[in-house]
Structure 1
Amino acid sequence: MKRSVRLHPAWIVAAVAFVALVGAAGFRATPAVLLHPLHAEFGWPLATISAAVSVNLLLYGLTAPFAAALMDRFGIRRVVAVALALVAIGSGLTVFMTTSWQLILCWGVLVGLGTGSMALAFVATVTGRWFVRRRGLVTGVLTAGGAAGQLVFLPLLAMLVDGYGWRAAALVVAGAALLVVPLVWLLLREHPADVGLPPYGGQEVVEPAQPAGGAATRAVRALTAAARTRPFWLLAAGFAICGATTNGLVGTHFVPAAHDHGMSQTTAAGLLALVGIFDIVGTIASGWLTDRFDPRLLLGAYYALRGGSLLLLPGLFAATTEPSMLVFVIFYGLDWVATVPPTVALCREYFGASGAVVFGWVFASHQFGAAVAATGAGLVRDQLGTYHLAWYVAGALSVGAAVLSLMLVRRRGTPFTEPAPAAPVAWSYRN
């Protein structure tokens, strides 16, 4: 007799998705430690190199809604496997580049498209298909993996760059991307109905609906419908500011800003890694809170606290790691992407079955803000010789995002309590 296993396959899918997201985040971390090495070798201005980062960030966001629709049509495994291949090609080809447009093509376009297909819309798709109970918590865990992976990889990449040059780091990223492909292909399931089960915490087996029309058409239709609503624009504007104040500014320019004050690149990268560690705690906690409290209030609090911390940051930079900087790193890390679980929940609340695709568009605004901030901060540094203005503007914008979040109106009849757990179902996991 075959022994039954009570572990729901949703947790296996979530674990594989976590690995893919951590890998994708690590791949996106590389530009932060390449700014000065590329400037030193090729003489390109920081604004030019930052432009490649901006293209990466922008495509990372714009790809997300189309990737979510493609996952509905062709399956998660195929989309994620192709995305990893794009990352490997883009990162590997950078070792042969000689001009700045090649940097934009490889690291901006190819890696941007690849990592964008494994963006937070991927998280929304997985949690929407596989979870009813614990959905907010799992969203927080997967989001934390994606955000923390980007920052935790930085010290390793910085050591590779310092010890073996930036080309070694690019090749390691390419190899790591290829290594994740077999894991995704073998273990990443598409739907709970494939194994004859309801989603975790659900009561009924739900057969997946076949999407009507092409993936691009579905993504555009979802945007067209959502754009007619006030909540979409409030969420998109707030998330654009979120992107500007995280990936675009801190994720891209914290290391060179600290370097301007005499701190070594490896030490500064280590501080960003510490941000990533505390982000894991903050984002998982945010997912837990999202299952229990109004997401609008959570967003307002997160953005307001972030704004205050960024307004204080310019006075904290020094050549060594001062206690005040460590306090900022811990506090800011707890708030890094804590905004994602409540934003996903609100997209699901307002837009129902189209919530994952609409969140993809909201996430595109996140990356648009990140792209503007990445280029804008580089221009500020080139023109003024300091990043101070960029930090102050980011702090003020975050306070504005808090106000936008509190302007969202709660949809009537939508509960925020966690669904009651379903009775355990015995099953056997077969490939």
Structure 2
Amino acid sequence: MEIAIAAGQGRPATNEFAEGWRVLVASLLGIGCGLAAIPFYTVGVFAPYLADEFGWSFGQIMAGLTITTVVVIVAAPAAGVLCDKYGTRRVAISSLVMFGLAYISLATLGDSLIRFYVTWAIVATLGAGTLPITFTRTVNQWFDRHRGVALGVAMTGTGVFGVLCKPLLAWVIGSYGWRAGYVALGLLPLALALPAVLLLFREPDSTSSHQCPNTSERLTGMTKGEALRQWRFWLIAVVLLPISFSLAGAVPNLEPILLDRGIDQATILTLTPLVGLTAIAGRIVGGWLLDKFWAPAVAFVLLGAPAISCVILAGAQLDPGMARFAILLLGFALGIEYDVVAYLTSRYFGMKSYSAIYSIFYVCFATGAGFGPLIFGLIRDWSQDFAPALLSAAAALPICAGAFLFLGRYPHLK
């Protein structure tokens, strides 16, 4: 089993970033202003205002995210099929428009909880085309030798939005109210991402191979049906559920975990932002590692290492230094997870039905991530401690990440 197999080995060197930087900029903005980032980083900001306005509990408000996850299970594969059939540019443009308008409609909410949930279902359905499924397909086509770094750059959109969105929302809501906050968020895909996609986002032109180093790769690889008959497909799909469950279960619960371990609120406020910042670094550094080394080995190390974090956080006492180390490992892993899946999809299954195949993996990851925080919280309620959930995650992460090592060499795809 070869460990240091560089991606794109044997291909002529090309200045991929000189040709593909436009696609990267558009993808970064599209992902950052899309369904993968906006709801999950901002729902907590609106929760106190909605609870005060309509008398809803925090649990009822957070259920909107669960509805989003459930809808994505169906909508993401559908978006993937549309991308493979009609092209990513058309899907991205139409979805950004509909997603932005649907998000703005949240500003018209009344006291109907049912309408609140239905609106979230509509937002998730119309916004599925803004998920990384759409943008990473085109990034993979433009980049080969530097594919890992390119995917990392594109996916930093979620981290950048996570860092910048709360100060923006705090100013808008403080000045104009929570309804204006929803309008501001809905305008981001319309005013920021949409123009970038219209001007910069292009799929490779099969009639002009010099425009893209990977035009010949566009139609190589497996169909969705062929991939579903591959044991490698099912290995990846199965291990993604517990990995995403373990990572996503711990991170949203960091504040109560740290409080349980005796760390004061002021110190916690200095520690938790490290997740977003480290995730950005994880995408870039992890992408570079994917380009230099065998991707399953990189996945094993980076996605298995947070087991150490879970063990540290499960301890009865925790000092800020150890907490900082644990959070850094978790954040780094969160920064590479979707990049690894996108990279493995392109290398083991090719680009012929990339979006349809990747969308299934995305659903597996999103399912674990969607239910992880809830189950971690329920375990805390039942046992009065996060330790059982954290120790279970510590056991699952290295075992499941180790399963990637069985994938073997990258196949020669036709």
TM-score by length of 1: 0.77
Counterpart in the other structure of 1:168: 180
Question: What is the match of residue 241 of structure 1?
Answer: 242
Instruction: Give the CA deviation at 1:73.
Output: 2.3
Following the alignment from structure 2 to structure 1, what is the Cα–Cα distance between the partners of residues 118 and 173? 21
Aligned ranges for residues 1-16 of structure 1 at < 5 Å?
A: 8-16=18-26
Q: 1:27 aligns with which of 6, 28, 38?
A: 38
The answer to whether the 8 A contact 2:257-2:313 is kept is no
Counterpart of 1:214 in structure 2 is none
The Cα shift of 1:368 comes to 0.9
- Which residue of structure 2 aligns with residue 154 of structure 1? 166
Amino acid at match of 2:203: E
Cα distance in structure 2, aligned partners of 1:316 and 1:175: 45
Distance 1:400 1:226 in 2: 26
C-alpha distance 165-396 of structure 1, shift in aligned 2 (>3 A): farther
Structure 2 match to 1:178: 190
Partner of residue 306, structure 1: 306
The corresponding residue for 2:286 is 286
Q: Residues 413 and 309 from structure 1, CA distance in 2 versus in 1: closer, same or farther, beyond 3 angstroms?
A: closer
Pick closer, same or farther for the CA change 1:177–1:7 going to 2, 3 Å: closer
Contact 2:84 2:353 in 1 (8 A): no
Identity value in percent: 22
What is the CA deviation profile of residues 15-70 of structure 1, one whole-angstrom value per residue up to 9, with x for unaligned ones? 11111112225422211323343334333333322221112233345433322321
Are positions 1:402 and 2:413 aligned together?
no
Task: Tell me whether 1:67 sits opposite 2:79 in the alignment.
Answer: yes
Partner of 1:276: 276
Task: Tell me, in whole angstroms, the C-alpha distance in 2 between the residues paired with 1:256 and 1:160.
Answer: 28
Write out per-residue CA displacement over residues 163-212 of structure 1, whole angstroms, 9 at most, x where no aligned residue: 65432321210111210222212221122436552533x5xx539659xx
CA 1:138–1:373 in 2, change beyond 3 Å: closer, same or farther? Answer: same
- Aligned residue in 2 for 1:329: 327
Question: Residues of 2 paired with 1:196 and 1:94: CA distance?
Answer: 44
Query: Please, which of 49, 52, 57 is the counterpart of residue 64 of structure 2?
Result: 52
- One-letter identity of the residue aligned with 2:38: F
Q: CA deviation at 1:255?
A: 5.9
Given candidates 193, 201, 204, the residue that maps to 1:191 is 204
Stretch deviating more after TM superposition (136-145 or 164-173): 164-173
CA RMSD in angstroms comes to 3.6
**Aligned equivalent of 1:361:** 360
Distance 2:16 2:163 in 1: 35
User: Is residue 2:216 matched to residue 1:206?
Assistant: yes
User: Where does residue 421 of structure 1 map in the other structure?
Assistant: none
Residues 326-363 of structure 1, C-alpha deviations (whole Å, 9 max, x = no match)? 44433322221313333323223332333442121011
Aligned partner letter, 2:407: R
Q: Is the CA contact 2:19–2:211 (under 8 Å) kept in the aligned structure 1?
A: no
Would the aligned equivalents of 1:143 and 1:283 in 2 still touch at CA under 8 Å?
Answer: yes
1:276 counterpart letter in structure 2? G
CA offset digits 1:222-266 (Å, max 9, x no partner): 2x5434333223212332234334456524x546777998748xx
Taking a change above 3 Å as real, the CA distance of residues 247 and 161 of structure 1, as seen in their structure-2 partners, is farther
SS in 1 for 2:341: helix
1:127 match: 139
TM-score of the superposition, structure 2-length normalised? 0.79
Aligned runs of 1:344-359 on 2, under 5 Å? 344-352=342-350, 353-359=352-358
Deviation at 1:6, TM superposition (A): 10
Aligned 8 A contact 1:58 1:370 in 2: no
Amino acid at match of 1:89: L
Question: Equivalent residue for 1:370?
Answer: 369
Q: Number of paired residues?
A: 389
Deviates more, 1:27-36 or 1:5-14: 5-14
- The amino acid that maps onto 1:22 is G
1:104 equivalent in structure 2:
117
Q: Distance in 2 between matches of 1:249 and 1:87?
A: 29
Partner of 2:10: none
Contact 2:140 2:151 in 1 (8 A): no
Following the alignment from structure 1 to structure 2, what is the Cα–Cα distance between the partners of residues 117 and 248? 26
- Structure 2 counterpart of 1:88, one-letter code: G
Match of 2:27 in 1: 17
Q: Which secondary structure state, in structure 1, belongs to the residue aligned with residue 130 of structure 2?
A: coil
Asked whether the equivalents of residues 60 and 119 of structure 1 are also in contact (C-alpha less than 8 Å), the reply is no
- Where does structure 2 lack aligned partners over 5 or more consecutive residues? 1-14
